[in-house]
Structure 1
Amino acid sequence: MTADPRAAHTLLSSARIPWDVVADGGRIAFALPSGDGSVIHVLDTAGGAARPVPGSGHVLPRWIPGTGRLLAVAGTLGRIEELDPATGEILWSLPVGGAVEDLIVAAGGEILARVADPGSDRDGMHLGLRVADTAEPRVDVPGERLRRLVRARAGAGGATAVPLGPRTVWEADWTGGDHALAVVSADPSPGGYYRPSLVLADLGGGPVFHLLSTPWQLARPRLSPDGSRAVVLEGLSIVSGRILHLDLSSGETTRWEGVDDVTDLGWLDDGTLWFTGWSGTGVQGGVLAADGTVLHRWTARGALGGRDGQPSLAPCGDGLTVTVWEDPGSPPEVAVGPLATGGFTARTSFNAHLAGLADGVVREDLAWTSPDGRTIEGLLLRPEGDGPFPLVVLVHGGPTWLWAQSFAPAESNQMALPLALAGAAVLLPNPRGSSGRGQEHARAVIGGFGEDDLADVLAGADLLIGRAGADPDRQAIGGLSYGGYLTAWAVTRTGRFRAAVVMSGVGDWIGFRAASAIGGGYDAVYHRDADPATPQGREFLAARSPLHHAAKVTTPTLILHGEQDRITTVGEAERLYRAFAAAGVTTSLVTYPREGHELVEPGHCADARDRTIGWLTRHGVLTSGGTT
């Protein structure tokens, strides 16, 4: 279609990616971006095209089971509404006084909503912004700005808060009975999510039963239909994890070892569950028995869309499931396939205009050995031909995230594919700390961040140079979030890169702990409780902070940051820029108003693209303005 990297990036930015896909039998609903909001669409598994529900601005579509009635959420500070799927008429509306982050709808129209108080911080998966708050001045008090459970009934007037004491609720599940299963923490900030507990809450105000705590993170709590058992995922940063099974009558907890890197699951009936997750750079799914036995498991070279960008499925009857599917040759679309065997057929064509966008780009799966003998995997996007090509290394965030077999890798402002079209060999490494290789691989970064994982990344770059496809004199590195940190850290360790681009990165781990919305949680996990209140802790953190090693940097470094980012605050970028500038480093800081942890406004995304290509061209990595 086009070999122009800027035009390709513009096309990628125009993609309309369905999200929050839900099903009730053969009825499917999902949200689709449209302008500044989204439009709910409905689709039948039996056939036919997706039909927009007239109107706009709704998210979180949910079916009332077995009725064909559709609920959704409108407004920044949410209103739960029932929509007529054919006309879009709002049949009733219920304000709940906060941002609705999840809706659980049981038979008969009973609703349990998870609602974030105005002014609450969102995590990095949700752009690291704050929930809207019109109050002036802003007043923060410890233990306030919670995420609460609110109970309501479809069509009835009024909602009732579930009394949970001073706990914030990160996720919950409910089958319509008197109790809900919830992942909670005492700390209401996103940092509290790193110190979770699983509880069973009496919705009528009775006792809250503590079920388990763990040094890791918990997600996707799921009650069995009869309410006697529960499952929950346990993992690092809960990008993916292993399954814990709880017998609620005996209190016994069992860790199922049959599958790892699970991102979502649910009960099909009291005897079976479905699951999905990462597998290497691809995905997996299948069916489990209620004792953890794997009944069916499939893997696929592609990616599944879902909540927080993690793989998810929505079983829709007759052994089928619906999801958002993409692979290196197919842009993301709503797709249907067999739950037990995988293999998805697209049912929408919202992104047909992207067909052929990657023509001329070769994709390769890579594996290499790090200096300590660990096998590391990754992906390579490069032009056709033999090179030599300039080499651009893009490091993903997390660190417990991954580069997957998607149509166009999205992190770092969707620059992977455009840079390959600009003539570069683009290395997407999954060093230790990444998901897709099991919990041992993910946890191998703990206490060794910035050392072992950087060695993994550099070994991947050496592999490409050794294969004579990459030009050793034209190397660059970039990344977002933790990838931004590792980029800034890399240029303090080596002068091999001619240019670097730091997006939403961390410059100072001591300041991060105090200022970040996840500080005190995230860092306690990854830094092995290095406490900045002690001399030893400060020394450990400073020794791994780029800010304190600016004098060693010779690589021209571009710093890009969202002004409203609460995960890696803009102060991180400002201090890093000042330290690099004072040390004589060629550097530039670009701050984007209204943006959080990732850029979303089209003008800002385009500006960051042009600055990235321009920076790499000016410093001799790319040639002729981004073409070779």
Structure 2
Amino acid sequence: MSRWGGTADPRAAHAALTAARVPSDVTADGSLIAFTVPSDGGMVLHVLDADGTGGARPLPGTDHVMPRWIPGTGRLVAVTSDLGWIEEIDAATGAIAWSQAVDGAVEEVIAAAGGALLVRVADPGSDRDGMHLGLRVPAPDGPYVDSPGTRLRRLFLAQAGREGLQPVPLGGLTVWEADWDGAATALAVVSADPSPSGYYAPRLVKVDVRDGSVRTLLTTPWQLARPRLSPDGSCAVVVEGLSIVSGRVLRVDLASGGATCWESLDDVTDLGWLDAGRLWFAGWAGTGVQGGLVKADGTVVSRWTAPAALGGRDGQPSLVPCGPGRAVTVWDAPDSPPEVAVGSLGSGGFVPRTDFNAGLARLAEGLVREVHRWEADDGRVIEGLVLRPVGPGPFPLVVLAHGGPTWLWAQSFAPGESNLMALPLALAGAAVLLPNPRGSSGRGQEHARAVIGDFGGADLADLLAGADLLICAGIADPDRQAIAGLSYGGYLTARAITRTGRFQAAVVMSGVPDWVSFRTTSAIGGGYDVVYHGGADPATLDGREFLADRSPLYAADSVTTPTLILHGAEDRVTTLGEAERLYKALVRAGTTVEMVTYPHEGHELTDPANCADARDRILGWLTGHGVLTSSAAPTVPAGDRA
């Protein structure tokens, strides 16, 4: 037993998790697989043959992301890790054969036969959403000048081996995602508003890349992701969902523009054409994942589920075909740290082919992982995960609220949100509840949309009911409870401590204290809130009153729970000024409160030193306020307080 009451030192475990070599950006051309792995501060390209028996081979000297095979050539194009260059790389030697500078940040590359490329680029100074750390794309030094209709995400054509980028003129539209047939036709999710709030008011368009002419195929009050052109060019599919899109598949006829919803599938996060008659799909399923095959008319051929996570873009489940009937992905399961794995598109059964993180498996020894279900006041069944030490309990309880709200806690090896604290907190002796209340992904669109107009209401009640369940079951100690969360989870944390005094400590990370000001202070304000707030408009008196009633800031004088606030100085999604307002309100209320601001950080912490500092502060805060027990709390510097 460690001095924390668990089986291992949570600080050492957290350090190992933050240093993990998690593969990403998996791509394939037949059996040839490429991906990136962090190493010595860079992102090293690796190559693996799905048909072979050998391990992954690093390409020395590379520091790249977004690798893409040029079909049938054995060559890759990839983007330098600063997102400023596209380069062609020999997959046998790692030698760079061609480089092209980009003005801005590359966000997507589609490679076609012969080395033709479609590139999506965010202008210098463009805002990014919370899934991309809420940081601006770097811009030249000097005054930052903004005006409506600037800072676009643009499409360019390029040719590997040839200098220059050819812009695709789109008349001021910004492009959030795209697909391309390698010739004249592209499919794009676009908006007139170039800021991240525009993502929430999308339309699907067909683009002639030769002249930029655009034809609108689909508009929707929801959000769109993963547009995919059929091989014969007759139709397309796109996923329609809420915010961080996990949703239903729409099939769109390119001639008529007619759209059909495939009711047979939900919570899809990615899909792709295998031929004109079949597609593969991947997505969430409860606290796990799903995958399988579907016909072009929406008939499901096969569907498998697994208690795991599948690595993909923006943390969403994805698969990459790598030969007849096979797929490659990053497999991440409770008993298996994330590794590149190969399995069946139609039946799953993924087997790891790398061992970058095999040494992490020992961190889970001595922990129990459980899926719990409970009934909300209105009869809705809610699911959540629990990580806890072996033994009868009761244990200190730490509730971690996820962001989104349309996101979820999945059955991964080390649930990654909230500074990777779930597993270390369990190792510190706590029962860690990871609830998926209404509004979460994985349970269909009705469950996800149930939070609209009732944010911080029934979803918070769902979360508290889960805590009550663990207390009644003897797993959790009612006298040692804490709550923490990041982003929307930070909002729920702040909201909870204005509604109840049951928690002995709270940690608000990148939270939202004021929905009234959110409209004009957040990079996603005017989009995100329009979707989730059920028509409440801060420009009207009724709207302001409703939003203020749901905002922790205006009830801060009732808070008695000791509260730690952690925030990135450069966060453009939940801005630093909003966190400072919450801090000052709690100080005026006489609440025990501390605020820590991390320079150069955005919506989530990425600097290893800052991640470690936040870890020690969280452990120290929960220990100092009687939730965790330890012979000595970790020593942390005083730091600057806002």
Do they fold alike, i.e. is TM over 0.5? yes
2:148 aligned with 1:138: no
**What is the aligned partner in structure 1 of residue 51 from structure 2?**
46
Secondary structure, aligned partner of 2:87:
strand
Q: Give, in whole Å, the separation in 2 of the partners of 1:362 and 1:75.
A: 38
Which of 615, 621, 624 is the equivalent residue of 2:627?
Answer: 621
**What is the aligned partner in structure 1 of residue 636 from structure 2?**
none
Q: Give, in whole Å, the separation in 2 of the partners of 1:39 and 1:378.
A: 36
**What is the aligned partner in structure 2 of residue 387 from structure 1?**
393
Q: Give, in whole Å, the separation in 2 of the partners of 1:623 and 1:324.
A: 36
Q: Structure 1 stretches (4+) deviating beyond 6 angstroms?
A: none
2:369 aligned with 1:363: yes
Deviation (angstroms), 1:83 = 0.9
Q: Give, in whole Å, the separation in 1 of the partners of 2:631 and 2:569.
A: 28
**What is the aligned partner in structure 2 of residue 301 from structure 1?**
307
2:455 aligned with 1:449: yes
Q: Give, in whole Å, the separation in 2 of the partners of 1:85 and 1:245.
A: 36
**What is the aligned partner in structure 1 of residue 558 from structure 2?**
552
Is this contact kept in 2: 1:76–1:132, CA < 8 A? no
Q: Quote the sequence identity (%).
A: 72
Question: Residue 373 of structure 2 aligns to which amino acid in structure 1?
Answer: A
2:202 aligned with 1:176: no
Alignment of 1:265-276 (within 5 A): 265-276=271-282
**What is the aligned partner in structure 2 of residue 433 from structure 1?**
439
Deviation (angstroms), 1:111 = 0.4
Question: Residue 82 of structure 1 aligns to which amino acid in structure 2?
Answer: E
Which of 4, 11, 16 is the equivalent residue of 1:11?
Answer: 16
Deviation (angstroms), 1:75 = 5.3
Q: Give, in whole Å, the separation in 2 of the partners of 1:357 and 1:506.
A: 33
2:158 aligned with 1:155: no
Question: Residue 364 of structure 1 aligns to which amino acid in structure 2?
Answer: E
**What is the aligned partner in structure 1 of residue 205 from structure 2?**
199
Secondary structure, aligned partner of 1:393:
strand
Q: Give, in whole Å, the separation in 2 of the partners of 1:625 and 1:290.
A: 61
Is this contact kept in 1: 2:107–2:120, CA < 8 A? yes
2:42 aligned with 1:37: yes
**What is the aligned partner in structure 2 of residue 65 from structure 1?**
71
Which of 596, 602, 615 is the equivalent residue of 1:596?
Answer: 602
Secondary structure, aligned partner of 2:363:
coil
2:503 aligned with 1:501: no
Question: Residue 114 of structure 1 aligns to which amino acid in structure 2?
Answer: R
Q: Give, in whole Å, the separation in 1 of the partners of 2:164 and 2:102.
A: 8
* TM value normalised by structure 1: 0.99
Gaps of 5+ in 2: 2-6, 634-642
Secondary structure, aligned partner of 1:492:
helix
Which of 343, 347, 350 is the equivalent residue of 2:349?
Answer: 343
Q: Give, in whole Å, the separation in 2 of the partners of 1:599 and 1:415.
A: 12
Deviation (angstroms), 1:36 = 2.6
**Cα pair distance change 1:206/1:380, threshold 3 Å:** closer
Deviation (angstroms), 1:56 = 2.8
2:473 aligned with 1:470: no
Is this contact kept in 1: 2:569–2:576, CA < 8 A? yes
Is this contact kept in 2: 1:5–1:626, CA < 8 A? no
* TM value normalised by structure 2: 0.96
Is this contact kept in 2: 1:123–1:518, CA < 8 A? yes
**What is the aligned partner in structure 2 of residue 416 from structure 1?**
422
Is this contact kept in 2: 1:422–1:626, CA < 8 A? no
Deviation (angstroms), 1:98 = 1.6
Deviation (angstroms), 1:77 = 4.9
**What is the aligned partner in structure 2 of residue 120 from structure 1?**
126
| Deviation sequence 1:17-71 (CA, Å, 0-9, x none) | 1111000001001111123320111110012111111113211101011111111
Q: Give, in whole Å, the separation in 2 of the partners of 1:484 and 1:239.
A: 21
Q: Give, in whole Å, the separation in 1 of the partners of 2:542 and 2:41.
A: 48
Is this contact kept in 2: 1:39–1:58, CA < 8 A? yes
| Deviation sequence 1:182-231 (CA, Å, 0-9, x none) | 00001111110000000001111152100111000000000001111100
RMSD: 1.1
**Cα pair distance change 1:362/1:77, threshold 3 Å:** closer
Q: Give, in whole Å, the separation in 2 of the partners of 1:207 and 1:577.
A: 50
**What is the aligned partner in structure 2 of residue 352 from structure 1?**
358
2:270 aligned with 1:277: no
2:333 aligned with 1:330: no
Is this contact kept in 1: 2:103–2:123, CA < 8 A? yes
Is this contact kept in 1: 2:26–2:35, CA < 8 A? yes
Is this contact kept in 2: 1:324–1:334, CA < 8 A? yes
Secondary structure, aligned partner of 1:317:
coil
Deviation (angstroms), 1:96 = 2.3
Question: Residue 26 of structure 1 aligns to which amino acid in structure 2?
Answer: S
Deviation (angstroms), 1:318 = 2.1
Deviation (angstroms), 1:626 = 7.7
Secondary structure, aligned partner of 1:555:
coil
Question: Residue 319 of structure 1 aligns to which amino acid in structure 2?
Answer: G
**Cα pair distance change 1:206/1:188, threshold 3 Å:** closer
2:114 aligned with 1:108: yes
**Cα pair distance change 1:85/1:542, threshold 3 Å:** same
Deviation (angstroms), 1:134 = 1.4
Alignment of 1:509-588 (within 5 A): 509-588=515-594
Q: Give, in whole Å, the separation in 2 of the partners of 1:227 and 1:78.
A: 32
Secondary structure, aligned partner of 2:524:
coil
| Deviation sequence 1:372-410 (CA, Å, 0-9, x none) | 111100000111111111111000000000000000111
Q: Give, in whole Å, the separation in 1 of the partners of 2:174 and 2:385.
A: 39
Is this contact kept in 1: 2:170–2:212, CA < 8 A? no
Is this contact kept in 1: 2:43–2:81, CA < 8 A? no
Secondary structure, aligned partner of 2:393:
coil
